[in-house]
Amino acid sequence: MNALFGFGVCFVLLVNVSAGFGDLRRPENVRIDSLNTRYVLRWDWPHETAANQTVTFTAQYIAEFRSRRAKHDEDWTSVCVNVLEHRCDFTGAEMMYWGLYLLRVRANTSRQSSGWVQIRFCPDKHAGLGPPSSVKLNTVGGDLEIIIRDPLSSNNESMKTLLDDKLSYLIQYWRRSEDPQAATFLPTKNNVVTVTKLDRQTWYCVRVQSCYNFYNKSSVFSDTHCARTGEKPQLLAPESRESVCEPLVMVRAVLDAEEVDEQSSNAEDQDSSTHGRHGSGDSGVYSAEEDSGRRSTSHADLQMSVTKHRGELHDGTLQQLCA
């Protein structure tokens, strides 16, 4: 990204009227270019200097509340000293993003210095906001997934750590075949957004803007990215497979239950017949409890056998239908 791309320029010019040494002119058009947490103080100095003297510049800053003290000259921090460029990078200075500062610059020669020219600067209020550091698109069937990466500070940290929940985005998307002026706008605070109800197998283009509503700041739009939607997936849901298998197993289970009742009935008839044929060889006396115990034992054995058979049949049926 161009270092000056989307820079905000906002300051209050405070000309220091203290006399300089001699008549060396002050720097002019002092301003600060700022983006996220990158701050560059700039100025012009179009004047001629007598006797071919080299002109250099010194730039300093101070927290505004410290400048109100009667003696505060020692509280100024120099960032650039006797530099030839008409700029000074304050990015590495220890300035809090929410603080309020005074920045100043003056011209120097080997024999004299100009008066100071200073500006007032609050990064949170005056610094420009950059666009998302990246925007990526994924197609999920007929939908479009937009992945937004936060703008980054000079330390490559998310600006969300400074702006908290006040950082948001404005997504703009449109069919590639149409004019971007007909785009749809979608505000969001999320970093991953899925856009639905799109035309299938159609190219869509997307760009995203960062927004900071507290000071009504917005960035330029990100680069434009385009992707083509696909077809919506037509897959058999797991519930469908269960509905196919289960009725067949239930039908077989009913048949098994009928076989159990029939076998149980035959066994009881055979048991009664046996009792009648061999009763004379025994004492001839059978208690209702003993007879009931024998029938229930015989029925239980049959039931266990059929239950085991039903489980094996059930497993085999499911393996054949749902494999």
pLDDT in tens, 119-164: 999 999 999 999 999 999 999 989 999 999 999 999 999 999 999 8
For residue 264, give Cα distances in angstroms to 90, 303, 308. Answer: 96, 9, 16
Q: Is the pLDDT of residue 13 over 90?
A: no
User: Which pLDDT belongs to residue 253?
Assistant: 45
Lowest average pLDDT, out of 100-109, 173-182, 225-234, 250-259, goes to 250-259
47, two tokens? 């004047």
Lowest average pLDDT, out of 184-193, 224-233, 242-251, 296-305, goes to 242-251
* Ranges of each domain in the chain: 8-126, 134-228, 238-269+292-322
Alpha-carbon distance of 218 to 168, in angstroms, equals 9
Q: Within 13 Å and on the Cβ side, how many CA atoms surround 293?
A: 5
- The beta-strand segments (E) located in 213-277 are 217-221, 225-228
Q: 26 phi and psi, to 5 degrees?
A: -80, 160
pTM: 0.64
- The dotted CATH code for 134-228 is 2.60.40.10
Residue with tokens 């998302």: 132
Superfamily grouping for domain 8-126: Immunoglobulins (2.60.40.10)
Same fold, 8-126 and 134-228: yes
Total residue count of the chain as it appears in this document: 323
Higher pLDDT, residue 212 or 257: 212
